[in-house]
Amino acid sequence: MSAPKKLFIKTYGCQMNVYDSERMAEALGGQGYEQTATPDDADMILLNTCHIREKAAEKVYSELGRYKGLKAAKPDLKIGVAGCVAQAEGEEIMRRQPMVDLVVGPQSYHRLPALEAKAGRGAKALDTDFPEEDKFEHLAQRPRARRAPSAFLTVQEGCDKFCAFCVVPYTRGAEVSRPAERVLAEARDLVERGVREITLLGQNVNAYHGHEGGLAGLIHALAGIDGLARIRFTTSHPNDMDDALIAAHRDCEKLMPYLHLPVQSGSDRILKRMNRQHTRDDYFRIIDRLRAARPDLHLSGDFIVGFPEESDQDFEDTMDLIERVGYGSAFSFKYSTRPGTPAAERAQLPEEVKDARLQRLQALLTRQQQALQDAMVGRTVKVLFEKPGRLEGQMVGKSEYLHAVHVQADGLTPGDLREVRIVESGPNSLKGVLPA
């Protein structure tokens, strides 16, 4: 029996890429690969890339450059690029980095075994098609290994919104939803292997239509799975936050009181230029309805500063929106061009203006995040413990509000769901104690 080959995967970007990397490793497991934590002893290196961040492609080329020495010392080493940069760049990756053996887009990675076999024969392997078949149906059955208490589960891919700044419709394709019965079967399998919390993933997850009741219907169906204690979902678009999903935040006990609902800008003028297809008042009305349904809901968001043509007043409108909504956490970025998107062709703001605005915006978000976290002191929350902490006898987990909570106590194990009284708020986590 031959020794297993070693696979090193480096994952960039969002939770969907984390899920995709797991499935890629499983697909290659059937080819005799097992994962390794270092590229140095790998027989295959696979970069699962993201195209959202600034200069994403150049960062991938820079990372590939670091492996030239490994490839020279080990000619049989196979190097692959997957994900959204692979979809966007295609053959250009192999042209610029001839040592790359394999390029596969995010909708085609179920074909990895065939691509790996082709690369093993010394040929270049490229697949960036948007195949008609459902990749999830063609992936190997997931191995029965014990899982961590929390898991991601992709239910929807692609986006039809065509925001002016975004490459997702071009790299992930049109919106596609997985049938509910397949999602439920995968969820049951995860729970049987120790998972207690599932986060449903999609580029535009609340546009899910694989269940007759939409995402809300899927959530209620998942809530019926014995042993599944918590459900989350991300990332959402305000235009698809329908009545049923808002009601689910009120009615479904297993749906956690935390929602990531990106708005990007607080200026109606910039929202229109972004092609977001909603106004700031639309967003406020959705937030009001959500908080009426679930008063303790914590909100997260995304913000872009320095979008083309953003004036001082436009930026102040964004700051005003943040002040009015109040966020428990948020992601914020300077606008950077994405070739092929409408906004990339417009006149850009000076970098110093973007930098100054980002600093102000992030300072406000940090103050809000810390204030909401400090307000947790004295409260009792439910923590799903996931892993040991840095200190002896310490366990770390997540509250229902997605706060990291660490507790010093004997007898806790991953997967335990316990009430914890919060006694201290730190910069990025909470300290708790088990009730006496």
CATH 3.40.50.12160 is the classification of domain 5-127: yes
Rounded-to-integer distance, Cα 276 and Cα 263, Å: 8
Highest mean pLDDT, choosing among 108-112, 116-120, 147-151, 247-251 = 247-251
pLDDT tens by residue, 319-364: 999 999 999 999 999 998 887 889 988 999 999 999 999 999 999 9
Checking if the pLDDT of 1 tops 60, the result is no
**Could you tell me which residues are beta bridge partners of residue 6?**
34
The type of residue at 77 is L
Query: In terms of Cα–Cα distance, which of 325, 347, 335, 329 is closest to 401?
Result: 329
Residue 106: per-residue pLDDT: 83
Query: In terms of Cα–Cα distance, which of 100, 6, 5, 2 is closest to 49?
Result: 100
**Could you tell me which residues are beta bridge partners of residue 421?**
380, 433
Alpha-carbon torsion (13, 16, 22, 23), positive or negative: negative
The type of residue at 9 is I
Residue 46: per-residue pLDDT: 94
Residue 14: per-residue pLDDT: 77
Ranges assigned E (strand) in 145-214? 150-154, 156-157, 176-177, 197-201
Those residues whose C-beta lies under 8 Å from the C-beta of residue 56, and which sit 6 or more positions away, are 12, 49, 50, 84, 85
Rounded-to-integer distance, Cα 111 and Cα 90, Å: 16
Q: Do 168 and 203 meet the contact criterion of CB atoms below 8 Å apart?
A: yes
The predicted model gives 64-77 an average pLDDT of 91
Q: Provide the mean pLDDT of the chain.
A: 92
Helices marked H in 46-167: 56-65, 68-73, 84-89, 91-96, 112-120, 135-138
Ranges assigned E (strand) in 195-273? 197-201, 230-234, 258-260
The interaxial angle of helices 351-374 and 312-325, nearest 10 deg, is: 10
Checking if the pLDDT of 53 tops 70, the result is no
pLDDT band at residue 242 under the 50/70/90 scheme: very high
Number of CB atoms found within 10 A of residue 62's CB: 10
Three-state SS at 72? helix
Rounded-to-integer distance, Cα 237 and Cα 261, Å: 6
CATH hierarchy code of domain 147-374: 3.80.30.20
Percentage of the residues of the chain whose pLDDT score is greater than 90: 70
Checking if the pLDDT of 423 tops 70, the result is yes
The predicted model gives 134-162 an average pLDDT of 79
Checking if the pLDDT of 287 tops 90, the result is yes
Three-state SS at 151? strand
Buried/exposed 294-311: b ≥16 CB within 10 Å, e otherwise:
beebbbbbebbbbbbebe
Range(s) of the chain covered by CATH 3.40.50.12160: 5-127
Range(s) of the chain covered by CATH 2.40.50.140: 380-433
Three-state SS at 369? helix
Rounded-to-integer distance, Cα 266 and Cα 179, Å: 35
Structure tokens at 54: 């600034």
Q: Are strands 78-83 and 102-104 parallel, antiparallel or unpaired?
A: parallel
Residue 131: per-residue pLDDT: 64
Checking if the pLDDT of 211 tops 70, the result is yes
Query: In terms of Cα–Cα distance, which of 37, 13, 28 is closest to 87?
Result: 13
Q: Do 158 and 70 meet the contact criterion of CB atoms below 8 Å apart?
A: no
Rounded-to-integer distance, Cα 46 and Cα 22, Å: 12
Residue 377: per-residue pLDDT: 98
Alpha-carbon torsion (16, 17, 23, 26), positive or negative: negative
Residue 103: per-residue pLDDT: 92
The type of residue at 380 is T
Residue 430: per-residue pLDDT: 98
pLDDT band at residue 100 under the 50/70/90 scheme: very high
Q: Are strands 156-157 and 176-177 parallel, antiparallel or unpaired?
A: antiparallel
Structure tokens at 254: 């297993």
Q: Which fold has domain 380-433?
A: OB fold (Dihydrolipoamide Acetyltransferase, E2P) (2.40.50)
Checking if the pLDDT of 54 tops 70, the result is no
Residue 226: per-residue pLDDT: 97
Alpha-carbon torsion (260, 261, 267, 271), positive or negative: positive
Residue 30: per-residue pLDDT: 80
Range(s) of the chain covered by CATH 3.80.30.20: 147-374
Q: Roughly how many angstroms between the first and final C-alpha of the chain, as a whole number?
A: 55
